[in-house]
Amino acid sequence: MLALPLLMFPLLIGAVIHATHRLRAPFTRAMLASVQEPLAQQTAQKSSAASAYQVATSPLAHFAPSVEAWETEIRTWSANFGLSPQLVAIVMQIESCGDPQAISSAGARGLFQVMPFHFGHTEDAFDPEVNARRGLNYLAKAWGLSGGDLAQTLAAYNGGLNLIGKPPSTWPDETRRYVAWGMGLWRDIQAGALPSPTLSAWLAAGGQRLCTQAQSRLALR
């Protein structure tokens, strides 16, 4: 997946589906703290967070216009895979900013930055439907295996399913950055913060280049 724009390089075999467009923002103590909540606190928050994820009916106003442009598809895909539209949008934001032709230096492709080996020989990795099917199937698997833990789900999508259950302090720096951006976006959504401070910081840290490319590809003005 992307890492700020967070594109990640492939990690372990059978792990990640994507290679994140790497945003080289410094990994601060505040960012680390955002993914190191005490386990007890995460557990207490999980049931209420899960219901919020499932309802998820608000517009995707916290995301870049090139991600908002996919709202109809995001809602359909999220319903098909049992995921929150906001979670799907968060991953698309960090991975490609809505550019269906995005490709990372590691070779990850499309909206959800899926590595080539996840596709069949006749599949078009840049076809949004195909890319979403492969990427969101993996995301849904991470969501299920993590028990609906958002931080663990994001970590698994970026760094592999083997990270689920491991403490954030053991995650690669890129994965911790990835999760920090994703959790920040989620908190902004929950707080109704518009414009999203996390999105603004992500864009300033390098994401704007990715979004400019996406807007050009989608012919957005």
Consecutive H or E run containing 128: helix 128-145
Enzyme catalytic residues: 95
Residue 140, in any domain of the structure:
yes
In a domain, 83, yes or no: yes
Is there a domain that residue 168 lies in? yes
How would residue 105 be classed by pLDDT, with cut points 50, 70 and 90? confident
Please say if the pLDDT value at position 42 is more than 70. no
User: Residue 109's domain spans which residues?
Assistant: 58-217
Tell me which DSSP letter residue 22 carries. Answer: B
Single-letter amino acid, residue 170: T
Q: How many domains does the chain have?
A: 1
Does 48 have pLDDT greater than 70?
no
- Reference 1, options 156, 218, 187; nearest CA is 156
51 lies in a domain? no
> Domain with 187 in it: what CATH number?
1.10.530.10
**Is 48 among the domain residues?**
no
Give, to the nearest 10 degrees, the angle between helix 71-81 and helix 128-145.
40
Residue 60 predicted with pLDDT over 70: yes
CB neighbours of residue 58 within 10 Å? 11
Q: What is the pLDDT of residues 133-192, one digit of tens each?
A: 999 999 999 999 999 999 999 999 999 999 999 999 999 999 999 999 999 999 999 999
In a domain, 209, yes or no: yes
pTM for the complete prediction? 0.79
pLDDT of residue 31: 53
Is the separation of the CB atoms in 113 and 95 below 8 Å?
yes
Q: What is the mean pLDDT of residues 56-71?
A: 84
Q: Match 């078009």 to its residue by tokens.
A: 124
pLDDT > 70: percent of the chain: 73
The single-letter DSSP state of residue 121 is T
Confidence at residue 220, expressed as pLDDT on a 0 to 100 scale: 82
